[in-house]
Amino acid sequence: MLNCNRIKELLESYHNGELTDTQKQKIETHLLSCDNCRAELESLKRLEKILQGVKFDERSDEFWARYTGKVRNKIADANKTARRYRLRIAAFAGALSTAAAVLLVILINSINKPVIIHPSGEKPVRPLSITKTEPVIIYSETSLKISKLLRVYATLKDDSNRKDVESEIIENIGDKAAPYLVSALRENIRKRNKDYGLCNGLIRVLGCLKEREAVYLIAEAMDDEQLRVVSVDALDKIRSLSAIPCLVKWYSDTDIQTEIVRIIRQQGKDAERQIVSILRTGSPEIKINAIKLSGDLKIKTAIPALAQVSTERKMKLMVIEALGNIGSPEAIPILYELAKDPNVFGEVCNAVKKMGGDAIPYLTSYFNTMDSKSRQNAFEMLTQIEDKRTLPYLISALSERKLQTQAEATLRKITNQDFGTNQREWWKWLKEDSEQNKDKKSGYYKSETIVS
């Protein structure tokens, strides 16, 4: 007789249809008498049903009509790249282990001392010490050289080769290469049919060179989805505050959100100031991202600017969420104002809830100066916090008709006790509980009342 553990091991095989008839029979006999194993099998079947039920969008006839053409184009592109690559590399064949990487090193070394070496001897030749075995054509035009260098660079598959080359570029060319790279990037990212390999390489190297002049161009490159990830990497390396607006602009792209948060965090207060300034003066599209970032980065200094933005109807919900994420009780007065709009009251309550116990003194300090409606709002926010420190306020509120029901329900929820609306019983319980928990935070139980 098989036990449950063994059956559970076999259930998946049973479900996959892998078992022999005898094994199947044993399982089926066991299933008749075991609820647990039956539930386990049912769960497997349900998962299968769910997965089978997921529908994937069909494509149109037009899409399929173009498909073969697109494949042909891709093959043509791949052939073109391979041909170019072969031509460049041919001269090195057999002589060097990582031909492409070495070609780059040679090119790098020759940037400021143009040398032409040609196998047929058509042009003046000055042999390079590094290429004893094979003659190599080196172009004298520096910009052309860099452009070719990057084309090969982009075709390198091995990360370690790339890193070697990157450090070679930084060490041997440095800033001198930057103007050419910037101009090549400017020319290439504005082309309709971009050479993505080249653009990627240019951006990557400019990032390695920490070339500040390239920030605006790299920011422009981010408009192209295919260059966005490499651009963020480059902006990470350059660490220029000028890149902040661009990073904020693309914060809505979930593929790079984490990177953006990390980069902005690294730049500290200055970057935060930029975000605050975008909140005040940015276009609506970028402002939305700045609001979200203020919340995600918990930028306290953004609270006044968020208050200003919150007057714009479309931004209200986002501001409330951001204020909740910042989690600073200083935002309570703003939230009080926003809570006057019944359409967003639920969101305000959620934001206050996120702030937790720290919000209590801020919430309660306004009680006595408020009108009835505002006090009701404030009280409802207080009930969201579900913290024992709110108990005295809740008990006091039992005597106020409009707040009574909510106060009673929240008291029950927090304390797991039920004394109805009997304030005396609640105070008595609170006193006892307070004595049992003397060590708890200061201000745990106060006798203030929220009823004026």
Partner 1 sequence: MDEQSLIKEALAGNENAWDELVKTYMKSAYYYSLKLTSGNAHEAEELSQDAFVQVYKNLKWFRSEAPFKNWLYKIITNLFINLRKRSARMKSLDSLKQEPVGITGPDFSGGAQSVLSGEFQSLVKDKMDSLPARQKAVLALFTYEGLSLEEISRTLDISYASVKMNLSLARKRMREELKEYLK
Residues interacting with partner 1, by CB under 8 A? 12-13, 16, 18, 43-44, 46-57, 59, 64, 67-68, 70-72, 74-75, 78, 229, 254-259, 261, 296
**In whole angstroms, how close is the CB of 197 to partner 1 at the nearest point?**
14
**In whole angstroms, how close is the CB of 262 to partner 1 at the nearest point?**
10
CA distance from start to end of the chain:
74
**In whole angstroms, how close is the CB of 353 to partner 1 at the nearest point?**
15
Nearer to partner 1, 222 or 378 (CB): 222
Q: Report, in this order, helix, strand and coil percent for the chain, each rounded to 5.
A: 70, 0, 30
Do residues 188 and 220 make contact, with C-beta atoms less than 8 angstroms apart? no
**In whole angstroms, how close is the CB of 2 to partner 1 at the nearest point?**
19
**In whole angstroms, how close is the CB of 426 to partner 1 at the nearest point?**
33
3-state SS string for 96-118:
CCCHHHHHHHHHHHCCCCCCCCC
Give the residue from 167, 158, 118 showing the smallest Cα distance to 138: 118
For the purposes of burial, counting CB atoms within 10 Å of the CB of 370, is it exposed (0-12), middle (13-18) or buried (19 or more)? middle
C-alpha 105/C-alpha 94 separation (Å) is 17
Nearer to partner 1, 67 or 412 (CB): 67
Burial 227-240 (b: 16+ CB within 10 A, else e): bbbbbbbbbbebeb
Nearer to partner 1, 55 or 401 (CB): 55
Nearer to partner 1, 33 or 52 (CB): 52
Give the residue from 316, 372, 377 showing the smallest Cα distance to 344: 316
Nearer to partner 1, 53 or 342 (CB): 53
Nearer to partner 1, 186 or 354 (CB): 354
Nearer to partner 1, 71 or 241 (CB): 71
| Cβ neighbours of 438 (radius 10 Å) | 7
State the helix-helix crossing angle for 21-33 and 4-16, rounded to 10 degrees.
120
Nearer to partner 1, 229 or 317 (CB): 229
**In whole angstroms, how close is the CB of 46 to partner 1 at the nearest point?**
5
Do residues 165 and 124 make contact, with C-beta atoms less than 8 angstroms apart? no
**In whole angstroms, how close is the CB of 84 to partner 1 at the nearest point?**
16
Nearer to partner 1, 119 or 346 (CB): 346
438 membership: H or E segment, kind and range: none
C-alpha 333/C-alpha 351 separation (Å) is 13
| Cβ neighbours of 440 (radius 10 Å) | 13
**In whole angstroms, how close is the CB of 56 to partner 1 at the nearest point?**
5
C-alpha 405/C-alpha 385 separation (Å) is 17
**In whole angstroms, how close is the CB of 55 to partner 1 at the nearest point?**
6
Q: What is the DSSP string of 356-404?
A: GGGHHHHHHTTGGGS-HHHHHHHHHHHHHH--GGGHHHHHHHTTSHHHH
Nearer to partner 1, 76 or 93 (CB): 76
C-alpha 308/C-alpha 302 separation (Å) is 10
